[in-house]
């Protein structure tokens, strides 16, 4: 089977949320889920609010990321998690 590249957008609870902690904890959850984080972006949203965008690779056979999304959403200082892109990586 192929691998898929998933892009997750994590929104913090507010402008004072610690993005480094959110990133670290989300990476741990992704690793336990069987994914490997390749790239992290911090993106401006509005009025000083920033989102954490994580790109990671996982085996396509794993299926849905719904459980992973729920685990990350349950982390401290996280407001929401959204899969913004899924691409198949062949080769």
Task: Report the alpha-carbon angle 64-40-58, nearest 5.
Answer: 30
Domain ranges of the chain: 3-89
Report the top-level CATH class of 3-89: alpha beta
Tokens read off for 70? 């729920």
Give tens-digit pLDDT for 51-83.
999 999 999 999 899 999 999 999 999 999 999
Q: How confident is the model at residue 91 (pLDDT cuts 50, 70, 90)?
A: low
The per-residue pLDDT for 37 is: 97
Give tens-digit pLDDT for 5-58.
999 999 999 999 999 999 999 999 999 999 999 999 999 999 999 999 999 999
How far is the C-alpha of 68 from the C-alpha of 72, rounded, in Å? 6
User: pTM (2 decimals)?
Assistant: 0.93
26: enclosing H helix or E strand: helix 19-33
């Amino acid at each position: 089977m192929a691998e898929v590249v998933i892009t997750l957008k994590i929104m913090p609870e507010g402008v004072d949320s610690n993005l480094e902690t959110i990133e670290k904890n989300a990476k741990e959850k992704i690793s336990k889920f069987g994914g490997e984080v390749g790239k992290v972006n911090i993106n401006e949203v509005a009025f000083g609010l920033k989102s954490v965008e994580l790109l990671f690779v996982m085996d396509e056979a794993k299926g849905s990321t719904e459980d992973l999304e729920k685990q990350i959403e349950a982390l401290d200082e996280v407001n929401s998690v959204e899969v913004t892109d899924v691409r198949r990586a062949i080769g």
